[in-house]
Chains A and B, each alone.
Chain A
Amino acid sequence: MLWNAILLALREIRRNIMRSSLTALGIIIGVAAVIIMVTLGSGATAKVTKQISSLGSNMLLIRPGQGMHGPGGRQSTASAFKVEDAEAIARDISGLEAVAPSATQSMQAIYGNENWSTTAVGTTNAYLEVRDWPIEKGRRFSKSELHGGKAVCILGSTVGNKLFGGQDPLNATIRLKKLSFRVIGLLKTKGQSTFGTDRDDIALIPLRTLHRRITGNTNVSVIYVSVLDGVSIEMAKKDIERLMRERRHISQREDDDFNVMDMREIVKILSGTTRVLTGLLGAVAAVSLLVGGIGIMNIMLVSVTERTREIGIRLALGALEREVLLQFLVEAVVLSSLGGIIGIMFALTTSLVLSKVLLVPFIFNIGIVFISFIFSVAVGIIFGYFPARKAARLDPIEALRHE
């Protein structure tokens, strides 16, 4: 009986190609929307996670102020760190790979006729290690340059390109805040950050140079710390917090006036956010799949009315109620699963193209493909059932008389 129903259903579908394709269209769009949204969404999640871990997932960021504690924090009143704080961390806490104190100042960089506004970061060679940032050309700071506060700089690739174009910047002299600096190195391109800022728009100078010649104080705005592989980041974080509370004379009852941020927290937060967004988009797309299902029901209901005579003929020829029901149900299921398959193929090609255009990795998620196929078949069964039952229950005499 099922075989007969399939045969009859396929004949009806073939006979009414236009109606059939319109019915399937709703499901095609619904399934395609779900898969495209989820595929691109998980691609974006993967991209964000990868970008953040490129910041260094074993990195801790220590900043004065309460950081992410919202309004009422003590950001403004918290005193800055000093170089000694970084030295104390490096000396007293075990399991650290590198500790890089840094202070930043935005300034104009000038070379010949070119000028570019950038950020100067006063730091040490440890900065390159913590941020896992190799030198493309040239060299790091020498010991004497660091200790003597010499006017030398290492440029990020953006600054290098803006000032020098295609020329070799090494050993050239540029001006930063009215001072002449010799370019000793060029950093490897790191690309945009997750937040859309250009990480290569930077000029590194020795911390002591920044303190002595530019800011005139010995403040450190951020201390970057990288933890050795295999050492617990939580432990290092706790140790640093204890040490800093001691050094900053914070009593038991007081909150920290500094903040140790774990990069993995940010990874968690951001990938969590994109995952939520993906889920949201998927839900929106699922609604469109539902709408597609209702579309199937509409067309099937209309087609029951339109096909009343046909149903009457079938019933007169001796079709059983359940045979008519099954035929209509199979028609709906065939259309919706066909729509599902076409939708899946359409979605995969589209998301392949879109992921190239949007520069996110193409992540083939067999789960969502499977789920949306099952869903489209379910839509066919659920929304095909009522029209099918209506058709099966028609009175043959009335149906035959129908114009």
Chain B
Amino acid sequence: MKAISKISGRPLIEIKDVSKVYGQGQAVMHALRGINLQITNGDFVAVMGPSGSGKSTCLNILGCLDTPTLGTYLFMGIDVGKLTRNQRALLRRHYLGFVFQNYNLLKRTSSIENVELPLIYRGLPAAERHAYSLNALKAVGLKGWEHHTAGELSGGQQQRVAIARAIVTEPTVLLADEPTGNLDSERSRETIELLARFNRDKGITIVMVTHETDMASYAKRSINFIDGLIVNDKLQETS
């Protein structure tokens, strides 16, 4: 039952007794109640659980967007809880990629400019930025769609632009929050296969929150949250 690091040495992600509490007094809400979790490099983890079970909070903490109230989160051995806002932004910039349920592309902005955005923040020169972005769009099967804006693309295509934006920096960890939540089953399958491929080919560690068991079945490992606690953590055979 226990997930065991396949690679020797430190796990990539280490969560120790992490709690997250929102609000104060009467309105206090325990989103996480002391969870422990380790994720090794190259893993593909599906995080499941009902709404309000703490899986999104967990993902926000993993993504360095939020910090634990109690406990420690070590990302590549760094105690994220002790970092400043800007230091966490730099971690996101250099090691993390995000894919969201509602794509979160910039409006009225072409695919290529959306994909370029994280590279701009990394300070890459224009020519390199352009080449990497074209490659990433090609990798998600959107060659020829570079200059279409988000509004001109279908949901599946928008999500693929978002994935291109997440992988263009070749992040260590890709965090996906219900990436197939707004897509039909065909588009969902394409999207999840794309993610699985980047995990397999590029060794990008993926943590994906999902509601759907058939999407979770693509992952190497699945974790179940209920009421802010991890109730089930198992390795699974991938299809």
Contact = CB atoms under 8 A, between A and B. Distances in A.
To the question of whether A and B form a pair in one complex, the answer is yes
Given A315-B89, A318-B93, 6 more contacts: A4-B123, A310-B106, A310-B107, A316-B63, A321-B89, A397-B60
A362 B173 CA distance: 67
Given A316-B98, A318-B90, A396-B65, A7 B104 contact: no
B118 A317 contact: yes
B159 to A, nearest CB: 14
B118 A318 contact: yes
A127 to B, nearest CB: 77
Nearest to A324: B89
A313 B123 CA distance: 17
A323 interface: yes
Interface centre among A309, A396, A400 (most CB of B within 10 A): A396
A323 B86 CA distance: 10
Q: Is the interface of B mostly helix, strand, loop or mixed?
A: helix
Contacts of A1: 123
A347 B120 CA distance: 38
A41 interface: no
Contacts of A371: none
A317 B113 contact: no
B85 interface: yes
Interface in B90-107: 90-94, 96, 98, 100, 104-107
Interface residues of B, number: 29
A69 interface: no
Nearest to A4: B120
Given A319-B121, A321-B89, A313 B63 contact: no
A312 interface: yes
A341 B70 CA distance: 55
Interface centre among B60, B105, B106, B165 (most CB of A within 10 A): B106
Interface residues of A, number: 24
B104 A15 contact: no
11 contacts: A7-B120, A11-B113, A15-B109, A309-B104, A313-B106, A317-B117, A317-B165, A318-B89, A321-B89, A322-B86, A396-B65
Contacts of A320: 86, 89-90
B146 interface: no
A178 to B, nearest CB: 88
Given A15-B109, A320-B86, A400 B100 contact: yes
B66 interface: yes
Contacts of B104: 309, 312-313, 316, 400
B147 interface: no
A16 interface: yes
B120 A321 contact: no
